[in-house]
Amino acid sequence: MLSKKMPLVVVAFCFILTMTGYASENQAIDYSKPAYWLSLPNATDKAVDVFYLYPTAWHKMDEEEPNICKIDNPVMMEQSKIIFSQQATAFESVGNIYAPFYRQADAAYILSLPFAERDKFVAGIPAEDAIAAFDYFINHHNNGRPFILAGHSQGSMILRNLLAEYMAKKPEVYKRMIAAYVIGYSVTAEYLAANPHLKFARGPDDTGVIISYNTQAPVIMGTNGVVQPGAIAINPITWTREETPASAEQNLGSILLTPSGEVAARDVRNIADARVSKVKGVVICSTANVEIFAPGNALFAKGVFHGMDYPFYYNNIKENAANRARIFLSKNKHLFTVGVVRNPAAGR
């Protein structure tokens, strides 16, 4: 009789193990643990915080792998540090930078999906992780300070969720947002119409706004997978939405990268110009060498400067973030001082 029951016991045991494994992989991340943060400042000596979400920093090596990585994936953890140096450091003179690790979707997989399915997939575990981290940041680290949101690519996809959902439910938090740099993924007119509490930047000085663009050459050999119909773009040199070209000489400085992604040079001039194309919904860069900066790969067509969205306009982003922070603090100086809120009731 025992031999007849044994298979049922084994099946039941395996079922329990399977369900336990599923739960452990999908349970919420405990962001009270420093190990789950890429950047967690020891001191908050600046009046502004920055919450940064890095782009896709890993890819599947085997088709049998899940389409979402684990929170401690070593490739993601290492590559995100390299990308942090290319992007988030543009904000380090402005604010205290907080950047969580989050379970990412495989880029090739999500780019293979239609936009609606792609957005739905990223709105799952990746966005749930990042929004949980942001909520923890607000409740345990931010102390009511004004903040900047910054992201790129998948990180910006998630910021769209955070802006649409969290900020709608937490207007007292949203009013402290200086700006959201949602770079490397589309912000569309349809998205803004569905979220009337949000507004897109119109100039270099407005606050509480979204800033977004995707960079490409005048001609690309295919399509740009991160650009949706109806995308809105702002010029990262002039910070206007007009189609007036800004020359490479007007660019405040780019950074150049090594083949492995480390920063090789800073304050490099005359690399990238910028012109908004309202028809394409992108920023056109006509001066950068496509063969060097966008030769094409498995994810992006030749001529798509996706990986250079931040590096091309690094000093411009740095200056603009500082400018918007100064303006925000000046307009709200009765509320804020360095590192703290003078009137917590007004800031929370």
For the stretch 316-331, pLDDT in tens is: 999 999 999 999 999 9
Of residues 163, 157, 136, 160, the one with CA closest to residue 36 = 136
pLDDT at site 64: 84
Query: Among the listed ranges 4-18, 241-255, 276-290, 317-331, which one has the minimum average pLDDT value?
Result: 4-18
**340 falls within a domain:** no
**76 falls within a domain:** yes
Measured between alpha carbons, how far is 236 from 213 in angstroms, rounded to an integer? Answer: 8
**185 falls within a domain:** yes
Q: Above 70 in pLDDT, residue 21? A: no
Q: How far is CA 214 from CA 121, 195, 277, 337, in A?
A: 21, 21, 10, 35
Amino acid identity of residue 272, one-letter, is: A
Q: Give the mean pLDDT of 43-60.
A: 95
**24 falls within a domain:** no
Backbone angles phi, psi at 183, to 5 degrees: -100, 145
Provide the 8-state DSSP code for 162: I
Structural domain including 71 reads: 29-214+306-334
Measured between alpha carbons, how far is 178 from 146 in angstroms, rounded to an integer? Answer: 6
Q: Above 50 in pLDDT, residue 298? A: yes
Q: Tokens for 220, please give them.
A: 């690309």
pLDDT at site 335: 72
pLDDT at site 334: 72
Query: Among the listed ranges 52-66, 273-287, 291-305, which one has the minimum average pLDDT value?
Result: 52-66
Q: Is 78 exposed, middle or buried (0-12, 13-18, 19+ CB in 10 A)?
A: exposed
One DSSP character per residue, 272-324 reads --BEEETTTTEEE--SS-HHHH----SSS-TTB-GGGTTGGGHHHHHHHHHHH
Q: Give the mean pLDDT of 75-93.
A: 97
Q: Give the mean pLDDT of 219-233.
A: 97
The CATH number that applies at residue 323 is 3.40.50
Q: In this predicted model, which residue has the larger pLDDT, 344 or 179?
A: 179
Q: In this predicted model, which residue has the larger pLDDT, 62 or 339?
A: 62
Q: Tokens for 181, please give them.
A: 């740099």
pTM for this structure?
A: 0.90
Give the other-Cβ count within 10 Å of 162's Cβ. 21
Measured between alpha carbons, how far is 251 from 267 in angstroms, rounded to an integer? Answer: 10
Q: How far is CA 239 from CA 130, 152, 276, in A?
A: 28, 18, 10
pLDDT tens, residue by residue, 178-188 = 999 999 999 99
Q: Above 90 in pLDDT, residue 345? A: no
pLDDT at site 96: 98
Domain tally, the chain: 1
**208 falls within a domain:** yes
pLDDT at site 5: 37
**195 falls within a domain:** yes
**20 falls within a domain:** no
Query: Among the listed ranges 47-61, 97-111, 175-189, 331-345, which one has the minimum average pLDDT value?
Result: 331-345
**201 falls within a domain:** yes
Q: Above 60 in pLDDT, residue 32? A: yes
Q: Is 338 exposed, middle or buried (0-12, 13-18, 19+ CB in 10 A)?
A: exposed
